[in-house]
Every structure is written in C-alpha cells, then in structure tokens.
Amino acid sequence: MVAKRWGCEHGGRETRMRCAIYARVSTDRQGESVDHQVSLLREFAKRRGQDWEVLEHLVFEDEGVSATKVSIWTRPAMKRLMEAAERSEVDVVLFKGISRLARNTQEALDVLDRLRARGLRVLSYEESYDSAKENSNFMFTMHAAIAEYEAEKIGVRVRLGNKEKAKSGRWVGGTPPDGYYVGRDGHLVPDDARAGLIRSIFERYALDGSSCAAIARELNARGETTSTGNGFSQTAVARILDNEVYAGHLVYNRRTDRTVRDYDSEVPGKKKERRMPNVRTEWVVVHCAHPPLVTPDLVQMAQMRRGRVRSQAPRTTHLLTGVLSCGRCRAPLIAQVKRTAKRVYRYYVCRTYHQAGRQACAQGSVPADDLESYVLTRLSERLREVSINVLAPALQSACAQGEEQAKRERERINRQLTRLTDAWIAAQVDDVLAGQAASIRGRIARLTAERDALYKRLTQAGLHRHKRAQEIYARLVDLAQDEPAMKRYWVQMLISSLVVHDRTLLIQYTFSSSDDTPIDGNV
C-alpha cells in the first residue's frame, strides 16, 4: 500500500512522512531501555531522508510491560498509537524489533493487519522488515514466530535458574512470607518484630483449639495487621498455618502460573493468569533451609488439625455436577457462581467454553436453579410412569456399586490405621517422635470411628435394600422438596447422564428409556 502524505506539494517536492515510534521494555529486561530504542529509531528515520520526520507526540513508549503477560491491545502506548492511526496522524510506524512489538505471533500479525488496513507503512529495524516490499508478510510471520520461540526459551531458562536457586535454599517466591525478610545471601531471615505474632497463631490454633476465624477476630481486635498492612482474615490465618516455611522448610515449584488468553473478556485479546498444580516429582523441597519460627512438632500438629477440619467441612455440591455434559463438544458442564450486591446467581457452563471461549464451543450457559428444578420435575414424572418392578433392578445395581465403594474406602482406612498404629508405637520409645503421640492417637480415634460407621452401613445395606423402591415411591411427591444431599443421591442413582445441546436436554435414566425434550420456556 502507498503511505498517505500530509500537507501539499511545492515545486514537485514531496511533503514530509510523519513517523511514529513504538518502543517497549519489560521489567525482566532492563538492559534495553526505551530511550535507547527511541534514539536508535530517530537516527534510523533521519538516514531514510529529510522527508522522514519523527514528531514528539508520535513517540509511544510502554515501559515495564511484559509482552508475554499483557495483551498488546491493553498496553497504554499501543492503544494511543492505534488511536493516532485512526485519526490519520501517522504515515509510518517504526519499531526496533518484532519482539518489541509482540511475543505472540497471532498478536503481531493482528497489529500488522490493522496498521496496513489504514494505509500505514510498517518498518522493523532489526529484521530489516518493510511492509512496502514484495512478499513481506512471509518474512514478518517468520520473525514473529522466532520472537515467540525466544520468549518461550527465556521462560524455560528463568524457571531452571529459579529451581537451582531454590535447591540451594534461597527464596525465589517473590514477596517473603510474613515473619521473614530476605537476607543478602538470598535466604530467609526471621523478622524479630513479627516472629512472636506468627508463633502465637500456631499456638492458639494447635494447642488452644481456636478456629481460623476466631484467631483473625482476636488479632484484629488487638489492632494487629498482616505484613502488607491489611487486617487479618480467616483465609490469611489459614495460609500461615498451611505454610511449611515456618518449620524451616522451603517448597518451590508446587504450582506454575501460565498466561492464557481470556476469551470470556469483552476486551479483545486480554490475558489472564492461570495457576496450574505441578506433579510432586517436579517440586523442590529443601529441609532446614532457614531458621524456623515455629517448632516442627507444632507446625505438624496445626497442619494435622487443618487436615481434619478440611475433611469434615461440608462441601457445597451442585445437584447436576458429574452427570451434566455438553452436546456439542462432550465436555462436562461445570457449575459457576456469581455474586452481586443484590443476589447470588448460579449457572452451568460448558468447560470448553469456560476455558477457551465461544470459538471453541458455542454452547451457552444454563441457569442452574431453573435447570435443576426442571430435571427433578421430569424425574418425578418418569418415575410415576414406570412400575415398581421396573425400578427395583436399577436400584439394586446402584446399591451394589455403593457397597463396593464403601468396601474400598474401608480397606483404605484399615491400611491407614496400620501405619498410624506403627507410628504411635514408635513414638512411645523415640524422644523425637514423642511430641506427635497425642496427634497420632487423635487420628487413630477418628479413623476408627469412620471405619465403624462403614461397617454399620454395609451391614444395614443388605437388610434394607428391598425397601429402597418403596422409599422412592413414597418420596415422589416431595422429591423437589427433599434435602439437597438426598436430591443429589436420587439424581446420581436414577439418572446416568444429562446432555444439553443448544436448548434441548437429553435425559438418560438408569431404569427407563431416554427423554429428549426442549427446555425452552422451562429454563
């Protein structure tokens, strides 16, 4: 394309070309400043001829902006450059290298297409790229792919370097945990001004039996704050109790933060961080990496109690989770909750759509309350249509599966009890383990109670199995009014799958033929 000119001609002499400069430097690349890039490109434009002019208001700088983590369309300077291009204030766009423009091939090509669509000429100094040349698109694509590959290599080198640093016991996780600061050698050093507060949290939880919420209220009442100056919350206390760092141990690479495109955002190309758990073999664990703030026994007691609280805490399980799937891509539909100042809104959404956006799957979300009510109504209607003799075999099969699951759980508990009993015996004769004897005895008592409950459940299951069919028939009228746990029990037992395709729901029962019905007007 021919770049637009501005002004008018005098005696055949062409008017000047208005050149815009785009410069960017990320926080992890301090050796290449934006000033250096701008100076280099000014000189580059000057060598192109006297008619190439860089105007001050056409210098756009994104400083401290990572190209891998921040979308090109959300960068402040890039947005101003695009706005200037739309106002026809620019004829040529210059940048030092394609890596300064973008570290993602798709983003780089999108920017190039938008600039060229407005008649602008685009030049890159390092790659000698000029959009006015023949076959320039191929060269640009190749160099953009190389820039993306280089970014990936840099990321790998940084991660490997951090792992080696962590193996030596040095802190790599950014902001140090409350109660520590990072010393000159990179190791964590106890902060005497905060150490007493951290110890008191462990003592109140592990020894006095206070809850995380109660401890947070006590600390706030005393005017205590976290290391960032905020008040304590239940979550903040729980994170302290769950952190092995206070026993002197360092655990690194437990999770990986990955930058992905946010397809659900209204902002084009917006990116978001997704935290992914790593397998244990990739963790870096260093014992006695720094001085502990709390004795290892006290930390272990707190974490064992935390484990019991989590296992006993009631879980909010959505009614259709596990049986509801997408008819377009076959992925499960997952429950999501949105809270506003006025209401709490639940809905089921295709997992593919949730993770990758509408381009990957176009199945829309479905209001959870309406869909659950509709499914329970259809289930009740179908149950009324079949005889008790048809229902009984399905119930017997479901009960048998439940009993097998209970037996496996009982075997798992027995294995745990064997290991804990051996540990308790060892604690009686080992001074190092003596402090753990009480907590081990508590775990043995809890597991024994769980095992006894399973024995009772298995014993009664065979005695009452023949009553299940009559029980369901007696509950048919009140099925929608039943307790949430019982509703889910009936759904899991009597429905093998639910498939949503656009506005149609396919219900596959365990005791009858499938039910393919439109949900418009009902959901």
Both ends of the chain: CA-CA distance in Å? 53
Catalytic (active site) residue 233: no
Residue 103 lies in a domain: yes
Do both 228 and 102 map to the same domain? no
Instruction: Evaluate whether 482 touches 490 at the Cβ level (below 8 Å).
Output: yes
Do both 294 and 412 map to the same domain? no
Do both 368 and 503 map to the same domain? yes
Model pLDDT, residue 11:
45
Do both 85 and 218 map to the same domain? no
CA nearest to 103, candidates 44, 146, 165:
146
Residue 266 lies in a domain: no
Do both 352 and 229 map to the same domain? no
Give 288's Cβ-side CA count (13 Å radius).
Answer: 0
Residue 313 lies in a domain: no
Do both 347 and 454 map to the same domain? yes
Give the residue from 240, 273, 308 where a domain finishes: 308
Beta bridge partners of 276: 256
Do both 221 and 365 map to the same domain? no
Which pairing describes strands 17-25 and 52-63: parallel, antiparallel, or unpaired? Answer: parallel
Do both 399 and 513 map to the same domain? yes
Residue 168 lies in a domain: no
Give the integer Cα–Cα distance in Å for 329 and 331: 5
Where the chain has pLDDT below 50, the residues are 1-13, 29, 311-314, 432-433, 463-466, 477
- Give per-residue pLDDT as tens, 260-313: 666 666 666 666 667 777 777 788 888 889 999 998 888 888 877 777 555 444
Residue 505 lies in a domain: yes
Give 319's Cβ-side CA count (13 Å radius).
Answer: 24
- State the catalytic residue, choosing from 26, 71, 99, 124: 26
Residue 194 lies in a domain: yes
Q: Which CATH number covers residue 245? A: 3.90.1750.20
Beta bridge partners of 122: 93
Tokens of 177: 């945990």
Do both 339 and 484 map to the same domain? yes
Tokens of 388: 């008790």
Model pLDDT, residue 328:
92
Provide the Cα torsion 220, 225, 226, 230; round to 10°: 90
Do both 135 and 197 map to the same domain? no
Give the integer Cα–Cα distance in Å for 206 and 210: 8
Residue 156 lies in a domain: no
Share of the chain above pLDDT 90, in %: 23
Residue 257 lies in a domain: no
Q: Which CATH number covers residue 26? A: 3.40.50.1390
Give the range of the structural domain holding residue 446, as residue numbers without chain letter: 324-520
Do both 355 and 444 map to the same domain? yes
Instruction: Evaluate whether 244 touches 305 at the Cβ level (below 8 Å).
Output: no
Model pLDDT, residue 9:
43
Give the integer Cα–Cα distance in Å for 416 and 443: 10
Which 3-state string (H, E, C) describes 331-376? CEEEEEEEECCCCEEEEEEEHHHHHHCCCCCCCCCEEHHHHHHHHH
> Residue 458: exposed, middle, or buried by beta-carbon count in 10 A (0-12, 13-18, 19+)?
middle
Total number of domains constituting the chain: 3
Do both 36 and 185 map to the same domain? no
Which string of DSSP letters, residue by residue, matches 244-268? GGGGT-EEE-SEEEEEEE-TTSSST
